[in-house]
Amino acid sequence: MLLNTPTAKIGWRATSFSLIDPSNSETFTYEEIKGENGTLVAFICNHCPYVIAIIARLVEDAKVLQSNGIGVVAINSNDYQYIAADSPENMIAFSSQHHFSFPYLVDHDQSVAKAYGAVCTPDFFGINADGVLQYRGRLDDAAMRDAANRTPELLNAMLEIKRTGVGPDNQLSSMGCSIKWKK
Protein backbone atom coordinates (compact mmCIF):
# COMPACT_ATOMS: atom_id res chain seq x y z
CA MET A 1 0.00 0.00 0.00
CA LEU A 2 1.31 3.45 -0.93
CA LEU A 3 1.79 5.84 1.98
CA ASN A 4 3.15 9.29 2.65
CA THR A 5 5.02 9.91 5.87
CA PRO A 6 3.15 12.01 8.41
CA THR A 7 4.15 15.58 9.15
CA ALA A 8 7.32 15.66 11.20
CA LYS A 9 7.12 16.05 14.93
CA ILE A 10 10.31 18.05 15.07
CA GLY A 11 11.99 18.12 18.45
CA TRP A 12 11.68 14.56 19.75
CA ARG A 13 14.81 12.78 20.89
CA ALA A 14 16.17 9.88 18.88
CA THR A 15 15.48 6.51 20.45
CA SER A 16 18.51 4.37 21.10
CA PHE A 17 18.65 0.92 19.53
CA SER A 18 20.85 -2.14 19.23
CA LEU A 19 20.41 -4.03 15.95
CA ILE A 20 22.33 -6.64 13.96
CA ASP A 21 23.93 -6.22 10.54
CA PRO A 22 23.25 -9.58 8.88
CA SER A 23 26.29 -9.22 6.60
CA ASN A 24 28.69 -9.75 9.49
CA SER A 25 26.45 -10.43 12.54
CA GLU A 26 27.87 -7.30 14.14
CA THR A 27 25.60 -5.41 16.53
CA PHE A 28 25.36 -1.65 16.13
CA THR A 29 23.84 0.83 18.54
CA TYR A 30 22.56 4.31 17.79
CA GLU A 31 25.39 5.70 19.89
CA GLU A 32 27.98 3.93 17.70
CA ILE A 33 26.40 5.12 14.45
CA LYS A 34 25.66 8.74 15.31
CA GLY A 35 27.96 11.29 13.78
CA GLU A 36 29.52 14.32 15.38
CA ASN A 37 27.36 16.52 13.11
CA GLY A 38 24.13 14.51 13.10
CA THR A 39 22.63 11.20 12.05
CA LEU A 40 20.44 9.94 9.26
CA VAL A 41 18.22 6.96 10.12
CA ALA A 42 16.66 5.55 6.94
CA PHE A 43 13.98 2.87 7.02
CA ILE A 44 14.23 0.94 3.76
CA CYS A 45 13.75 -2.59 2.44
CA ASN A 46 14.91 -4.65 -0.54
CA HIS A 47 11.71 -5.14 -2.54
CA CYS A 48 9.93 -1.77 -2.50
CA PRO A 49 9.86 -0.15 -5.96
CA TYR A 50 10.23 3.29 -4.32
CA VAL A 51 13.41 2.22 -2.53
CA ILE A 52 14.75 0.55 -5.67
CA ALA A 53 14.12 3.75 -7.64
CA ILE A 54 16.07 5.96 -5.21
CA ILE A 55 18.72 3.61 -3.81
CA ALA A 56 21.63 4.76 -6.02
CA ARG A 57 20.91 8.41 -5.10
CA LEU A 58 20.62 7.53 -1.40
CA VAL A 59 23.96 5.71 -1.46
CA GLU A 60 25.68 8.66 -3.16
CA ASP A 61 24.11 11.21 -0.81
CA ALA A 62 25.06 9.05 2.19
CA LYS A 63 28.73 9.18 1.15
CA VAL A 64 28.57 13.00 1.11
CA LEU A 65 26.88 13.02 4.53
CA GLN A 66 29.46 10.65 5.99
CA SER A 67 32.29 12.83 4.66
CA ASN A 68 30.65 15.69 6.59
CA GLY A 69 30.64 13.87 9.92
CA ILE A 70 27.01 12.73 9.69
CA GLY A 71 26.34 9.14 10.68
CA VAL A 72 24.15 7.06 8.37
CA VAL A 73 22.26 3.83 9.00
CA ALA A 74 19.59 1.94 7.07
CA ILE A 75 17.10 -0.25 8.91
CA ASN A 76 14.83 -2.93 7.47
CA SER A 77 11.79 -3.43 9.70
CA ASN A 78 9.61 -5.39 7.27
CA ASP A 79 8.22 -8.78 8.28
CA TYR A 80 10.46 -10.93 6.11
CA GLN A 81 8.44 -14.03 6.98
CA TYR A 82 5.69 -12.35 4.95
CA ILE A 83 7.95 -10.75 2.31
CA ALA A 84 10.81 -13.20 1.68
CA ALA A 85 12.62 -10.67 -0.54
CA ASP A 86 13.33 -8.65 2.62
CA SER A 87 15.07 -11.51 4.46
CA PRO A 88 18.43 -10.88 6.14
CA GLU A 89 20.12 -12.97 3.43
CA ASN A 90 18.61 -10.75 0.75
CA MET A 91 19.62 -7.64 2.74
CA ILE A 92 23.23 -8.78 2.42
CA ALA A 93 22.89 -9.13 -1.36
CA PHE A 94 21.04 -5.79 -1.69
CA SER A 95 23.60 -3.81 0.31
CA SER A 96 26.47 -5.45 -1.58
CA GLN A 97 24.86 -4.86 -4.99
CA HIS A 98 24.37 -1.17 -4.21
CA HIS A 99 27.72 -0.66 -2.43
CA PHE A 100 26.37 0.62 0.90
CA SER A 101 28.95 2.61 2.87
CA PHE A 102 26.76 2.39 5.96
CA PRO A 103 25.32 -0.43 8.08
CA TYR A 104 22.05 -2.04 6.94
CA LEU A 105 20.43 -3.43 10.07
CA VAL A 106 17.51 -5.78 10.62
CA ASP A 107 14.77 -4.78 13.07
CA HIS A 108 13.54 -8.32 13.79
CA ASP A 109 10.87 -7.34 16.33
CA GLN A 110 9.98 -4.05 14.60
CA SER A 111 10.48 -2.15 17.86
CA VAL A 112 12.76 0.47 16.32
CA ALA A 113 10.31 1.28 13.51
CA LYS A 114 7.56 1.62 16.10
CA ALA A 115 9.69 3.80 18.37
CA TYR A 116 10.53 6.14 15.48
CA GLY A 117 7.02 6.12 14.07
CA ALA A 118 8.23 4.85 10.69
CA VAL A 119 5.37 4.03 8.34
CA CYS A 120 6.85 3.35 4.91
CA THR A 121 9.93 2.56 2.90
CA PRO A 122 11.74 4.80 2.43
CA ASP A 123 11.20 6.83 5.58
CA PHE A 124 13.98 9.25 6.58
CA PHE A 125 14.77 10.73 9.99
CA GLY A 126 17.39 13.51 10.13
CA ILE A 127 18.71 14.00 13.65
CA ASN A 128 21.03 16.78 14.81
CA ALA A 129 24.22 16.38 16.85
CA ASP A 130 22.20 16.72 20.07
CA GLY A 131 20.02 13.72 19.11
CA VAL A 132 16.93 15.79 18.26
CA LEU A 133 14.81 15.16 15.15
CA GLN A 134 15.09 18.04 12.67
CA TYR A 135 14.05 16.45 9.34
CA ARG A 136 11.40 13.96 8.27
CA GLY A 137 11.01 14.26 4.55
CA ARG A 138 11.80 12.84 1.18
CA LEU A 139 15.17 12.15 -0.43
CA ASP A 140 14.65 14.53 -3.33
CA ASP A 141 12.12 15.91 -5.78
CA ALA A 142 12.83 13.30 -8.47
CA ALA A 143 10.79 10.51 -6.84
CA MET A 144 10.76 7.58 -9.28
CA ARG A 145 11.77 9.67 -12.31
CA ASP A 146 15.10 10.46 -13.91
CA ALA A 147 17.15 12.30 -11.34
CA ALA A 148 19.45 14.30 -13.61
CA ASN A 149 18.09 17.65 -12.42
CA ARG A 150 16.97 16.74 -8.93
CA THR A 151 17.02 18.85 -5.79
CA PRO A 152 18.64 16.70 -3.08
CA GLU A 153 16.31 17.76 -0.26
CA LEU A 154 17.54 15.26 2.35
CA LEU A 155 21.19 16.00 1.63
CA ASN A 156 20.59 19.75 1.76
CA ALA A 157 18.59 19.42 4.98
CA MET A 158 21.27 17.35 6.70
CA LEU A 159 24.00 19.79 5.68
CA GLU A 160 21.85 22.64 7.05
CA ILE A 161 21.41 20.66 10.28
CA LYS A 162 25.19 20.23 10.43
CA ARG A 163 25.69 24.01 10.09
CA THR A 164 22.86 25.27 12.28
CA GLY A 165 21.53 22.36 14.33
CA VAL A 166 18.07 23.00 12.84
CA GLY A 167 16.34 21.56 9.78
CA PRO A 168 14.53 23.48 7.06
CA ASP A 169 11.05 24.86 7.61
CA ASN A 170 9.75 23.36 4.36
CA GLN A 171 9.79 19.55 4.45
CA LEU A 172 7.89 17.40 1.97
CA SER A 173 6.80 13.91 2.98
CA SER A 174 8.52 10.82 1.72
CA MET A 175 6.38 8.40 -0.25
CA GLY A 176 6.67 4.63 -0.40
CA CYS A 177 5.29 1.21 0.40
CA SER A 178 3.89 0.60 3.84
CA ILE A 179 6.04 -1.25 6.35
CA LYS A 180 4.93 -4.87 6.46
CA TRP A 181 3.96 -5.31 10.10
CA LYS A 182 3.91 -8.66 11.85
CA LYS A 183 0.46 -9.94 12.67
| DSSP-assigned beta bridge partners for residue 133 | 127
In 3D space, the residue among 178, 120, 136, 154 whose CA is nearest the CA of residue 14 turns out to be 136
What is the pLDDT confidence band of residue 7, given thresholds at 50, 70 and 90? low
Sign of the C-alpha dihedral, residues 9, 114, 155, 37? positive
Helix, strand or coil for residue 172? coil
Residues spanned by the domain of 49: 2-178
10 Å Cβ neighbour count for 84? 11
pLDDT of 116: 96
10 Å Cβ neighbour count for 86? 23
Backbone angles phi, psi at 46, to 5 degrees: -90, -30
Q: Is 171 part of any domain?
A: yes
pLDDT of 144: 78
Query: Is the pLDDT at 107 greater than 90, yes or no?
Result: yes
CB 76 within 8 A of CB 103: no
CB 3 within 8 A of CB 177: yes
CATH of the domain at 32: 3.40.30.10
HSE on the CB side for 141, CA within 13 Å? 8
Helix, strand or coil for residue 173? coil
Q: Is 89 part of any domain?
A: yes
Q: Is 148 part of any domain?
A: yes
The whole-model pTM stands at: 0.95
CB 73 within 8 A of CB 39: yes
Number of domains forming the structure of the chain: 1
Q: Is 65 part of any domain?
A: yes
Helix H, strand E, coil C: the string for 28-47 is EEHHHHCECCEEEEEECCCC
Helix, strand or coil for residue 114? helix
Q: Is 183 part of any domain?
A: no
Structure confidence by residue, pLDDT tens digits, 125-177: 999 999 999 999 999 999 777 677 899 999 999 999 999 999 999 999 999 99
Structure confidence by residue, pLDDT tens digits, 51-82: 999 999 999 999 999 999 999 999 999 999 99
